[in-house]
Amino acid sequence: MAARYAVYYAPEAESALWRLGSEWLGRDAETGATLRQPDIPEIVALTTSPRRYGLHATLKAPIRLADGTTEAEFLDAVATWAASETPFQLPRLDVGSLGDFLALRLSKPCPELIAMAGRCVRSLDRFRKPPSDAELARRRIESLPAAERAHLLAWGYPYVFECYRFHITLSDSIADDTLRARLHDAAAAWLEAAELENRPMAEACVFAQAAADQPFILTHRFGFSA
């Protein structure tokens, strides 16, 4: 599999949220360092997928580069788009559930965020290699609502534009309600000092995955400067 690239929101490297969130997952996605996780039963097994992706919220979901495009061109385009965006503040983030997994979620809607994420998707979509039939099947396209199915076919990801759901994933899917509730309380306590109020949205980060069996690494941070 060719390398994949994603554009994510990630907390500033020096922030308490980056430090505590990365420790919760057990890996610093920028340095690649393995981190000691909180002393919570089963946390290693329950954070396998988000640990591989790193602490983030999706703006442009992972893509393979379209034929005829290069990594350098993609990075230049991300830098150009980011420079056109104006920094703003996110509403407070709270630990909550999204389906069966835990995530940091917005405490209230943020139209600026939805608009910015939409511009990111549109600006960079020329670099996206269309998904294969197998990739579409893995998304269970037939089970998606009509709007999400249309977005998946048009943009390679169902949760864009009016379907966009900002979230920083904190766990794998947890079917057991009691276990999920217990981990929720532990995550809320762990992140209590993570400065979740009025977080800046002032940059976008490129994460790269060299191969399917490799984790995503934060390779570039591009500031908003309009």
pLDDT tens-digit map of 158-180 = 999 999 999 999 999 999 999 99
Buried b (16+ CB within 10 A) or exposed e, 25-42: bbbbbbeeeeeebeebee
* Position 57 pLDDT exceeds 90: yes
* Position 110 pLDDT exceeds 70: yes
pTM above 0.85, yes or no: yes
From the number of C-beta atoms within 10 Å of its C-beta (0-12, 13-18, 19+), residue 11 rates as: buried
The separation between CA 133 and the C-alpha centre of its own chain, rounded to angstroms, equals 24
122-129 average pLDDT score: 98
Are 148 and 155 within 8 A, CB to CB? Answer: no
For the domain 4-109+167-220, what is the CATH code?
3.90.1140
pLDDT for res 1: 60
pLDDT for res 63: 96
More confident residue, 103 or 131: 103
Which tokens belong to 210? 């060299």
